[in-house]
A and B are shown apart, each in its own frame.
Chain A
Amino acid sequence: MSSRGLPWRRLPLRTRVIGAFTLGAAIAALVLVVITYGLSRQSMLQQREESSERQFFANARQVQSSLRAEDPDFTQLLESLPSLSGSRSIVRTGDETWTSLSLTPNDLPPPLVSSVLESSQAKTMRYRLDDQPVLAFGLQLRPSNASALQGVAYFELVPLAEVESTLESLALILLVGGALTVLVGVGIGLWASGGLLRPLTDISDAATSIAHGRFDTRLEEVSDPDLDALVSSFNEMAAAMETRITRDARFSSDVSHELRSPLMTLRASIDVMQHRREELPERTQQALDLLNDEVVRFEHLVQDLLDLSRSDSGPMEIDLVNIEELVKATLASSEGVVPLEVSGNAEGALVMGDKRRLAQVLDNLLRNAEKYGDGPTRLTISSSGRNIEIAVEDSGPGVAPSERELIFERFTRGAAARKRGTGDGAGLGLALVDEHARRHGGTARVEGKPNGDSGARFVVTLPKAGRR
C-alpha cells in the first residue's frame, strides 16, 4: 500500500476538513487551559504564601518578645495573636506545647519540627491535615539570656482549602471553556467544509444531470479564481459534448429520414405487387419473395439502428406495464405459435416501462430464436425476488459460454449466426435487447437449457414496479 493508502487519506474530504478544525481547536484549547491554570495556581498560591509569611513573622516576633517575661502565659498569648483567614498557632518549648483551639501537638508533622529545631531559618511545609491542605510555617525562637526555656519554636498553620476550591472552580470553568472551543471548532469545520465542498457538490449535480440527458446543464460562473478555471473548463466540456450529441442526433435523424422514405416506397410497391401475385409468372413470384424478405430485413435493421441511436439519449414513454398482457400482445402480432408459461407468482406482475421497447425486446428475442435457434420452443414468465424474468428458449445449437457476453454487443454475432453465412442480420438485435433491458433497470443474459438439452435460454430480467 502506498502512502496514498494511509487511513487518513481514505477518509472523505469533508470528514478530514472537520477533523482538522476539531483537532486544531482541541490543541489550542488544551494549551490555553494548561497555561492559564498553571499560571493562576502559581500566582494564587504565591500570594497566599507571601501574606501568610508576613503574618507569621509578625506573630513570631510577638511570641519572641513574650519570652522575656518570666513564665509567659502562652495560652492567652496564642488567643491574642491575629489570625489570617483561619490560621492557627502552636508554641513548643522543650517538652511542653501550647496550641490554639482545636489543635493538638500531634497535628505538626515531625519532619517539620525536627528541621525547625536544627536550623535558625524559618521553614515551610505543605501537607494535609484532617484531609485539608495546610501550609505550615515554623521558626526556632531564641529565649533571652539564660532562660530556662530551651528549644522554643513557633509554628503557624494556614489552611489552603479556600485557595484549592477556587482553583477547582477555575479548572472547571477552563474545562468547560475548552470544550466549548472544541465545539466551535467543529462548527467552523462544518461551515468551512460546506463552503469548500459546495462547488464540488454543484459539479457532481451538474454531471449527474448531464448523464441523465439534460445536456444544456451548465455551472454558474463564480468569482473565486481557483474555482473559475474548473467551472469554465467544465462548462466548455459540457458545451462541446452537447454540440457533439446534437450533431450526432441530427445526423441519425437525417439518416433515418433518408432511409425511411425509400423503404416506404419499397414496402408499398411490394405490397401492390403481392396484391397481384397471381398475375405474375412463377419465376417473378420467387423474385418478389426474395425482394420482400430483404425489405423486411432492411426494415428491421433500420428500426434496430434507429432505436439503438435513440436508446443512447432518447426519452422513454414510461407507463405501468402488465408483463403478461404485453407478452401475449407481442405473441399475437408475431408469426408462429410459442407455448407461454406464466408461473403463479408472476401473474399480473407490473413493471415501469416503455411498452413498445419492451415489446421490441421480446420480438428481437423471438426473431433471434427463429433465425439461429431453430425457432422458439417455450416462453416463460416468472418472478424472482424483486424481479420479473422473461425467458425465451430454443432447441438450436445453444451459445458457447465464451460467447455468452459477447453476443450482446453491437455488430457482434455468435457462431450460430456466422455459420448461417447468409449475412442474415447485422448483430444489432441482441444489442438492442441488452440496451433496452438496461434502460429499464434490468439485465439480459443467455444460458444453457436448465435440463441440459441442446438449445439456448435468453433471459431478460426487469425490476417489478412498486405496489401502489
Chain B
Amino acid sequence: MSIRILTIEDDERIRTAVRFALEDEGWNVLEAETGEQALEEFDSMNPDVVLVDIGLPGIDGFEVCRALRRASDVPIIMVTARDDTHDVVAGLEAGSDDYLTKPIAPKELSARIRALLRRVKSENTGSSPRTVGDLDIVPDEGVVRKSGTEIHLTKTEFHLLCELSDQLGKVLSREHLLEEVWGYDYFGDGRLVDVHVRRLRTKIETDPAHPRHVVTVRGMGYKLQP
C-alpha cells in the first residue's frame, strides 16, 4: 500500500508544486485547503504523514496540530514562513514532530518525510522490554506503562524515550538525539529535542517541574535514570 501524505496549505500553487514533487517520490498526495477541511476529512483520508502550513485562513496551523494530536499520533511536519523561536517552539508545543522553513526544497522535504516514516517503522523492530523505575517500556508493542497504567506517547516521544533507555544513565547530547530520533545531520535544531523532552516529561514524570527520570545535564544533554 502506498504512503499517503496530507498537505494542508491554502496557497494552491504551492500545494500543486509540492504535490508534483512528492508524487515524483512515488507517494500518494492528499490535499486540504483549510484546517477545517483537513480535520473533517482526516479519518477518511487516514494519512501516514501530515504537512501543515502555519499561516492558514480560519483555524491556524497550531490549532490544526493540537486537534490532530488529540485524535491521532500521526507524524506532523509543520511548515512555517518564519523561523523565529516563537513560531518554532509554539508549533512544537502544539504537537508537531518536526518543522521546515519556507522555501522548502523538495529534496529536504522528502528527506524529512522519510525520516519520520523510518521512525514509525523502527519501533516494530525495536529491542527487548525494559523497566526504568516505575516505567515499563515495551518497544515491540509501542507501549509505556507508568506504575501499571498505560501512557499515550506520540511516535516521536516514544522513540526518544527508547533511545534514552537504550543507554540508561548515560548522557546523550542533543546532536546525538537529533541524529538518532530525527535523522538530522550536524545542523539539526536543538529546540526539537528540548520541546520533545518537555512534552515527554509532562507524560511520564510524576512532577514534571522536578523531573526524576529525564534529567537535564547542563551543557551536555539529557539522560534517563530510574
Q: Which A positions have Cβ atoms within 8 angstroms of B?
A: 253, 256-257, 260-269, 271-272, 275, 299, 302, 310, 314-315, 317, 319-320, 325-326, 329, 332-333, 355-356, 359, 468
In the complex, which residue of chain A has the Cβ closest to the Cβ of B54?
A: A257
B197: min CB distance to chain A, Å: 16
Contact B103 A260 (CB under 8 A): yes
Q: A256-B82, A267-B105, A272-B24 are in contact. List 18 more A-B contacts (CB 8 A).
A: A253-B81, A253-B84, A260-B101, A260-B103, A261-B102, A262-B13, A264-B17, A264-B102, A265-B14, A271-B106, A302-B103, A315-B85, A317-B85, A319-B190, A320-B219, A329-B185, A356-B187, A468-B219
Range of interface residues on B (Cβ < 8 Å): 20 to 34
Q: What separation, in Å, do the CA atoms of A266 and B190 have in the docked complex?
A: 29
What would 13 A/B residue contacts be, using CB atoms closer than 8 Å? A257-B81, A260-B101, A260-B102, A261-B14, A264-B104, A268-B14, A269-B20, A272-B17, A272-B106, A302-B103, A310-B84, A315-B85, A468-B219
Q: What separation, in Å, do the CA atoms of A265 and B21 have in the docked complex?
A: 10
Q: What separation, in Å, do the CA atoms of A199 and B102 have in the docked complex?
A: 47
Segment 1-37 of B: residues with Cβ below 8 Å from A:
11, 13-14, 17-18, 20-21, 24
Chain B residues within an 8 Å CB radius of A264: 14, 17-18, 102-104
In the complex, which residue of chain A has the Cβ closest to the Cβ of B13?
A: A265
Q: Which of B17, B101, B191 contacts A268 (CB 8 A)?
A: B17
A324: min CB distance to chain B, Å: 12
Chain B residues within an 8 Å CB radius of A299: 103
- Supposing A256-B82, A257-B82 touch, asked if A355 and B105 sit within 8 A by C-beta, the answer is no
Chain B residues within an 8 Å CB radius of A326: 186
Q: What separation, in Å, do the CA atoms of A267 and B103 have in the docked complex?
A: 8
Chain A residues within an 8 Å CB radius of B187: 329, 333, 355-356, 359
The interface residues of chain A, by DSSP majority, are classed as helix
Q: Which B positions have Cβ atoms within 8 angstroms of A?
A: 11, 13-14, 17-18, 20-21, 24, 55, 81-82, 84-85, 101-107, 185-187, 189-191, 219
Chain A residues within an 8 Å CB radius of B186: 325-326, 329, 332, 355
Q: What separation, in Å, do the CA atoms of A380 and B103 have in the docked complex?
A: 32
Chain B residues within an 8 Å CB radius of A356: 187
In the complex, which residue of chain B has the Cβ closest to the Cβ of A302?
A: B103
Contact B191 A317 (CB under 8 A): yes
In the complex, which residue of chain A has the Cβ closest to the Cβ of B25?
A: A275
Chain B residues within an 8 Å CB radius of A315: 85
Contact A260 B81 (CB under 8 A): yes
- Supposing A329-B185, A468-B219 touch, asked if A268 and B81 sit within 8 A by C-beta, the answer is no
Contact A271 B85 (CB under 8 A): no
Contact A263 B102 (CB under 8 A): yes
A133: min CB distance to chain B, Å: 79
Contact B106 A267 (CB under 8 A): yes
Chain A residues within an 8 Å CB radius of B189: 317
The 3 A-B pairs with the shortest beta carbon distances in the complex, nearest first, are A329-B186, A268-B17, A264-B103
Q: What separation, in Å, do the CA atoms of A448 and B133 have in the docked complex?
A: 63
Q: What separation, in Å, do the CA atoms of A265 and B187 have in the docked complex?
A: 24
Chain B residues within an 8 Å CB radius of A269: 17, 20
In the complex, which residue of chain B has the Cβ closest to the Cβ of A326?
A: B186
Contact A261 B11 (CB under 8 A): yes
Chain A residues within an 8 Å CB radius of B102: 257, 260-261, 263-264
Q: Which of B11, B81, B105 contacts A256 (CB 8 A)?
A: B81
In the complex, which residue of chain A has the Cβ closest to the Cβ of B105?
A: A267
Q: What separation, in Å, do the CA atoms of A188 and B43 have in the docked complex?
A: 78
Chain B residues within an 8 Å CB radius of A320: 219
Contact B84 A314 (CB under 8 A): yes
Q: What separation, in Å, do the CA atoms of A319 and B106 have in the docked complex?
A: 29
Q: What separation, in Å, do the CA atoms of A261 and B11 have in the docked complex?
A: 8
B192: min CB distance to chain A, Å: 11
Chain A residues within an 8 Å CB radius of B84: 253, 310, 314
In the complex, which residue of chain B has the Cβ closest to the Cβ of A254?
A: B81
Chain B residues within an 8 Å CB radius of A256: 81-82
Q: What separation, in Å, do the CA atoms of A271 and B104 have in the docked complex?
A: 11
Q: What separation, in Å, do the CA atoms of A76 and B137 have in the docked complex?
A: 125
Chain A residues within an 8 Å CB radius of B55: 257
Q: What separation, in Å, do the CA atoms of A253 and B186 have in the docked complex?
A: 27
Q: What separation, in Å, do the CA atoms of A355 and B106 have in the docked complex?
A: 23
In the complex, which residue of chain B has the Cβ closest to the Cβ of A319?
A: B190
Chain A residues within an 8 Å CB radius of B104: 264, 267-268
- Supposing A320-B219, A355-B187, A359-B187 touch, asked if A268 and B85 sit within 8 A by C-beta, the answer is no
Contact A275 B24 (CB under 8 A): yes
Q: Which of A253, A266, A333 contacts B82 (CB 8 A)?
A: A253
Chain B residues within an 8 Å CB radius of A271: 21, 24, 105-107
B55: min CB distance to chain A, Å: 7
Listed residue (A256, A267, A317) with the most chain B CB atoms within 10 angstroms of its CB: A267
Q: What separation, in Å, do the CA atoms of A260 and B54 have in the docked complex?
A: 13
Q: What separation, in Å, do the CA atoms of A333 and B106 have in the docked complex?
A: 16
A250: min CB distance to chain B, Å: 11
In the complex, which residue of chain A has the Cβ closest to the Cβ of B189?
A: A317
Q: Which of A261, A265, A359 contacts B81 (CB 8 A)?
A: A261
Chain B residues within an 8 Å CB radius of A268: 14, 17-18, 20-21, 104, 106
In the complex, which residue of chain A has the Cβ closest to the Cβ of B20?
A: A272
Listed residue (B20, B85, B186, B190) with the most chain A CB atoms within 10 angstroms of its CB: B186
Q: What separation, in Å, do the CA atoms of A356 and B190 have in the docked complex?
A: 11
Q: What separation, in Å, do the CA atoms of A275 and B110 have in the docked complex?
A: 14
Chain B residues within an 8 Å CB radius of A329: 185-187
